[in-house]
């Protein structure tokens, strides 16, 4: 009986530990290398409030030409493609096969991309 309790307690403790780690290191952790989720610009523009904002309008000074002249809005469909493959996405969004972005492709596609978008909505 005592042994079962100890095992149950250990399992519960381990599960809490696991959930806590997941919350800190979600798939969006990858974006943090270059982006702040607050208002500060880093290697890339600040991402706070990005969902629903017009592209290239954060006040970031080092945008590529494609982002400077962007005329799309960061809705879920645009973000999904961008986070998966920004190199291809920028050509499609700009309507120019020669358009380039300074953000390397992140390959966060499918469920990973959706998890990141869900996170971006909270900042
Ligand atoms: C290696 C650095 C780097 C990483 C990693 C990175 N980005 Fe970027 N990101 C940039 C740069 C640089 C730009 C500006 C691109 C340009 O002007 O062409 C940018 C631009 C953006 C924009 C457009 C912002 C705006 O105001 O229009 C979004 C959205 C974005 N990144 C999201 C993400 C997300 C989400 C991740 C994580 C999956 C990520 N980025 C990972 C460097 C990075």
> Residue with structure tokens 């809705």?
75
Query: Are the C-beta atoms of 64 and 74 separated by less than 8 Å?
Result: no
Q: How confident is residue 4, by pLDDT bands cut at 50, 70 and 90?
A: low
**For ligand 1, mutation pick of 28, 31, 37, 103 (most atoms within 8 Å of CB):** 103
Q: Give the pLDDT mean for 67-91.
A: 98
Residues with beta carbon inside 6 Å of ligand 1? 30-31, 33-35, 43-45, 47, 50, 55-56, 58, 63-64, 66-67, 74, 82-83, 101-104, 106, 108, 116
**8, pLDDT greater than 80:** no
Q: Give the pLDDT mean for 79-89.
A: 98
CA of 44 to the centre of ligand 1 (A): 5
pLDDT of residue 22: 42
**For ligand 1, mutation pick of 25, 28, 40, 44 (most atoms within 8 Å of CB):** 44
The residue with greater pLDDT, 62 or 11, is: 62
CA of 104 to the centre of ligand 1 (A): 8
Q: What is the C-alpha to C-alpha distance for residues 108 and 115, in angstroms, rounded to an integer?
A: 9
Q: How confident is residue 26, by pLDDT bands cut at 50, 70 and 90?
A: confident
**92, pLDDT greater than 70:** yes
Q: What is the C-alpha to C-alpha distance for residues 105 and 95, in angstroms, rounded to an integer?
A: 18
Question: Please, what is the average pLDDT of the chain?
Answer: 87
Long-range contacts of 31-36 (CB under 8 A, 24+ apart): 31/106, 31/116, 34/103
CA angle 21, 24, 27 (to 5 degrees): 105
């Amino acid at each position: 009986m005592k042994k079962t309790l100890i095992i149950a307690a250990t399992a519960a403790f381990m599960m809490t530990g696991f959930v806590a780690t997941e919350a800190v290191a979600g798939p969006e952790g990858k974006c943090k290398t270059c982006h702040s989720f607050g208002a500060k610009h880093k290697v890339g523009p600040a991402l706070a409030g990005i969902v629903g904002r017009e592209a290239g309008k954060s006040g970031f000074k080092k945008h590529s030409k494609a982002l400077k002249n962007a005329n799309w809005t960061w809705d879920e469909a645009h973000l999904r493609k961008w986070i998966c493959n920004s190199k291809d996405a920028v050509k499609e969004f700009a309507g120019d096969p020669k358009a380039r972005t300074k953000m390397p492709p992140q390959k966060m596609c499918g469920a990973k991309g959706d998890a990141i978008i869900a996170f971006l909505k909270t900042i």
